[in-house]
Chain A
Amino acid sequence: AQSVAQPEDQVNVAEGNPLTVKCTYSVSGNPYLFWYVQYPNRGLQFLLKYITGDNLVKGSYGFEAEFNKSQTSFHLKKPSALVSDSALYFCAVRAMYSSASKIIFGSGTRLSIRP
């Protein structure tokens, strides 16, 4: 069975500092991994994804994520946080090679960047 864990409900970071939002997953076989962001009063937006290839994936708004197969993790990172990064972040996983596989979202991590 597929599952995603976002162990932190909330992450608080000062503006200008690096940020990390954690995600671990469980899936049979190789995964597709995604990060989405939900800004206040706005819909969910795609940030980045890992399918294959380079373990470090770069996405929108200066975010990046590193796929670590041995640790089954896909943590989201940004070198220097902005107040505008404050939002709800979701990690998602899907099994490759299964046309019937659903995408499973984590419970979300609320990122709060203080000025």
Chain B
Amino acid sequence: GAGVSQSPSNKVTEKGKDVELRCDPISGHTALYWYRQSLGQGLEFLIYFQGNSAPDKSGLPSDRFSAERTGGSVSTLTIQRTQQEDSAVYLCASSLEGLGDEQFFGPGTRLTVL
């Protein structure tokens, strides 16, 4: 596709349920990032993939959060036993490969935990 896509665009769930967020990066981009943006806040780094491996998982808030990437392309971010404080916009970005490459962001998934 022309840009980074994310699905769903909106997700409303009940506290305690699991959710899965999907990111399709730009074709050919080997690096993929997940961020969280709470209302009125900056971007919080969650995890970074280079290919299918994750050199840096240091931003994942708890063991309820996990992410994987398969085939060097699509990535899924899974949040288990969601809590109200997980409510935020989850952003995915991809870049060509290098640390100095700019990131291209998707439109985000707005997660609301009731």
Q: Which residues of B contact A (CB under 8 A)?
A: 33, 35, 41-43, 45, 48, 50, 55-56, 58-59, 91, 93, 99-100, 102-108
Interchain CB contact under 8 A, B55 and A99: yes
A71 at the interface (CB under 8 A from B): no
Give the contacting residue for A102; candidates B41, B45, B100, B107; CB below 8 A.
B45
Report if A90 contacts B (CB, 8 A): yes
- How many residues does chain A have at the interface if contact means C-beta atoms less than 8 Å apart? 23
B33 engages A100 (CB within 8 Å)? no
B-side contacts of A46, CB under 8 Å: 102-104
Instruction: Kindly identify, within residues 66 to 90 of chain A, every residue whose CB is under 8 Å from any CB belonging to chain B.
Output: 90
Q: Which residues on B sit within 8 Å (CB–CB) of A94?
A: 99-100
Q: Are B56 and A102 in contact (CB under 8 A)?
A: yes
- Please name the residue on chain A nearest to B91 by beta carbon: A44
- The residues of A that contact B55 with a CB separation of less than 8 Å are 99-100
Query: Which 10 pairs from chain A and chain B are nearest by CB?
Result: A107-B42, A100-B55, A46-B102, A105-B43, A44-B105, A51-B100, A43-B105, A32-B100, A102-B56, A102-B45
Q: Using an 8 Å CB-CB cutoff, how does the interface string of A99-115 with B read, 1 for contact, 0 for none? A: 11111111110000000
